[in-house]
């Protein structure tokens, strides 16, 4: 990735480009280029969008913008017959036959919200652990979703034999909303803390201030996760947001960067460069 020091550059560490319509995607990626967002990590969430996500990364990557795709079974979409390990066979078959070596495992995770009534936490954990094992075996970057269950997530990761993931800084905690007490624990597992506009709420401010700057990444989680709070006025978002679509955009990370810099009382440009360099390290460690 080239970087011109006179401008601010951004990397969207977690989004779902396959969830945009074709038209919206083209205009979103054009705006990204104008905003100096030159790399995006697009996460698939179920087997039906593996192929779509892969095609997006191949079709839209150019010398100006790069899209890296991830594949995984997200806890919200565990509708594939999971009572045997057929899903794992399907997953491994897909990955082994990929004509693309630059990919990651994600989005996978555990969710203690309403979804656990449909898919028990025990089942979610079983499927999550198999995917983590696979990521470790392949030495691949992994994007982890977690709602409420940060203690459990830490215990799971800490008890698994996943030296590749830990030693090589391969774990990204997407939209991190753990408590202050979790920061040190996950930091000891060499995790990155990826922050979305959804994390920007008063209840998280103290935690956000404490995050180590060298471990923070920014993400949009777009098209979802729109949060008015990070914008100073409607002009900042009206070109991609409307009441019908309620879409978020990767461009939200520019505004998020400003807000988190304010919270941390750091110069915005300096902070933006720190986060860009963290993201660049992730790219160079995994995809160069
Ligand atoms: Zn996501």
pLDDT confidence of residue 7:
79
Total residues found in the chain within this entry: 288
| Residue 225 covered by a domain | yes
Domain that holds residue 115: 10-287
Distance 108 CA to ligand 1 centre (A): 9
Ligand 1 centre to CA of 120 (Å) is 20
Say if CB 50 and CB 23 are below 8 A apart: no
In a domain, 2, yes or no: no
- Domain assignment present for residue 119? The answer is yes
Domain count along the chain: 1
Ligand 1 center from residue 230 Cα (angstroms): 19
Instruction: Give percent above pLDDT 70 in the chain.
Output: 97
- Give the domain CATH number at 105: 3.20.20.140
Cα(94) to centroid of ligand 1, in Å?
21
Cα(189) to centroid(ligand 1), Å: 21
Cα 236 to ligand 1 centre (Å): 23
Ligand 1 centroid to residue 5 C-alpha, Å: 30
Domain annotation covers residue 1: no
Averaged pLDDT, 83-95: 87
Closest CA to 154 of 181, 123, 126, 122: 181
Q: Decide if pLDDT at 80 tops 80.
A: no
Segment 114-160, tens digit of pLDDT: 998 988 999 999 999 999 999 999 999 999 999 999 999 999 999 99
| pLDDT average, residue stretch 59-74 | 96
Instruction: Give a yes or no: residue 17 inside a domain.
Output: yes
| pLDDT given at position 15 | 98
Q: What is the pLDDT of residues 182-208, one digit of tens each?
A: 999 999 999 999 999 999 999 999 999
* Residue of 81, 94, 9, 88 whose CA lies nearest to 54: 94
Which residue matches tokens 């304010």?
Answer: 262
| Dist. CA 141–CA 90, nearest whole Å | 20
For residue 244, what pLDDT is reported? 77
- What pLDDT shows up at residue 219? 98
Q: How far is the CA of 224 from the centre of ligand 1 (A)?
A: 8
Give a yes or no: residue 43 inside a domain. yes
Distance 203 CA to ligand 1 centre (A): 21
Q: Are 110 and 128 in contact (CB under 8 A)?
A: yes
Q: Are strands 192-195 and 66-71 parallel, antiparallel or unpaired?
A: unpaired
CA of 41 from ligand 1 middle (Å) equals 10
Confidence category of residue 269, pLDDT binned at 50, 70, 90: very high
Place of tokens 């940060």: 150
Angle between helices 252-264 and 268-287 (to 10 degrees): 120
Per the domain annotation, does 4 fall within a domain?
A: no
Q: How far is the CA of 38 from the centre of ligand 1 (A)?
A: 19
Please give the pLDDT value at position 85. Answer: 79
| pTM score of the predicted model | 0.95
Residue 146: which H helix or E strand, with range?
strand 142-147
Region of poorest pLDDT, from 70-74, 239-243, 263-267: 239-243
Question: What's residue 274's pLDDT?
Answer: 97
Q: Is 175 inside a domain boundary?
A: yes
Quick check: 6 pLDDT over 90?
A: no
Average of per-residue pLDDT across 45-58: 95
Give me ligand 1 centre to Cα 40, in Å.
12
Q: How far is the CA of 59 from the centre of ligand 1 (A)?
A: 21
- pLDDT bucket at 81, cuts 50 / 70 / 90: low
Check residue 77 and give its pLDDT.
87
What is the distance in A from the centroid of ligand 1 to the CA of 211? Answer: 20
Grade residue 230 by pLDDT with cuts at 50, 70 and 90.
Answer: very high
Distance 29 CA to ligand 1 centre (A): 18
């Amino acid at each position: 990735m080239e970087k011109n020091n006179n401008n601010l550059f951004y990397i969207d560490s977690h989004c779902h480009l396959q969830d945009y319509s074709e038209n919206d995607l083209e205009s979103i990626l054009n705006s990204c280029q104008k905003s100096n967002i030159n790399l995006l990590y697009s996460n698939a969430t179920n087997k039906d969008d593996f192929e779509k996500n892969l095609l997006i990364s191949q079709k839209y990557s150019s010398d100006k913008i790069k899209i890296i795709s991830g594949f995984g079974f997200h806890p919200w979409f565990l509708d594939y017959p999971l009572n045997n390990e057929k899903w794992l066979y399907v997953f491994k078959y897909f990955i082994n036959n990929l004509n693309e070596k630059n990919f990651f495992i994600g989005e996978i995770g555990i969710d203690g919200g309403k979804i656990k009534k449909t898919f028990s936490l025990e089942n979610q954990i079983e499927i999550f652990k198999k995917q983590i094992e696979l990521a470790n075996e392949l030495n691949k970057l992994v994007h982890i979703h977690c709602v409420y269950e940060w203690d459990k997530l830490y215990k799971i990761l800490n008890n698994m034999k996943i030296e590749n993931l830990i030693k090589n800084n391969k774990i990204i905690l997407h939209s991190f909303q753990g408590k202050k007490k979790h920061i040190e624990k996950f930091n000891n597992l060499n995790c990155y803390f990826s922050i979305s506009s959804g994390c920007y709420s008063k209840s998280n401010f103290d935690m956000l201030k404490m995050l180590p700057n060298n471990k923070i990444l920014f993400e949009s989680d777009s098209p979802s996760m729109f949060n008015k709070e990070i914008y100073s006025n409607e002009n900042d978002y009206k070109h991609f947001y409307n009441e019908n679509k309620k879409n978020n955009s990767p461009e939200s990370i520019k505004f998020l960067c400003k807000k988190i810099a304010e919270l941390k009382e750091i110069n915005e440009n300096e902070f933006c460069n720190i986060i860009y360099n963290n993201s660049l390290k992730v790219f160079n460690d995994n995809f160069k």
